[in-house]
Amino acid sequence: MIPGKYNMVCPQGSTFTLDLTYSVNDLPVDLTGYDARMQVREKHSSAEFVLNIETNTGHIFLNETPGSIRINIPFEMTALLVAKEYVYDLELHTPSNVSRIIEGKFIVTPEVTR
């Protein structure tokens, strides 16, 4: 399956919350048994990530409603990000399967009020 494209805009120093619905053929997918992970890097080829979040770190939530995914990055983490354009992807996984479901730019806008 080809991942969806979406550019996320994250305000530096603010809590970043994004609610997504993962659907196939317009039907929300049952995410029971799945975990999720997302990494942000300067470039696709970068060896190091600048942000790494997962369901088990409490920053991605797979809700009871089919297909419902919430990304929640606290302001303490976004404050550490340099304001610039990065790349990211979000994967769902089980012990036997990995699916990249969305990818794109992760744009951190600069904070003025500090």
Separation CA 4–CA 91 (nearest Å):
11
Contact 25, 74 (CB under 8 A): no
Q: What is the pLDDT of residues 48-104, one digit of tens each?
A: 999 999 999 999 999 889 999 999 999 999 999 999 999 999 999 999 999 999 999
3 state SS for 7-41: CEEEECCCCEEEEEECEECCEECCCCCCEEEEEEE
Q: What is the pLDDT of residues 16-30, one digit of tens each?
A: 999 999 999 999 999
pLDDT band at 1 (very low <50, low <70, confident <90, very high): confident
Tell me the pTM: 0.93
Phi, psi angles (nearest 5°) of residue 67: 80, -5
Count the Cβ atoms, other than its own, within 10 Å of residue 51. 20
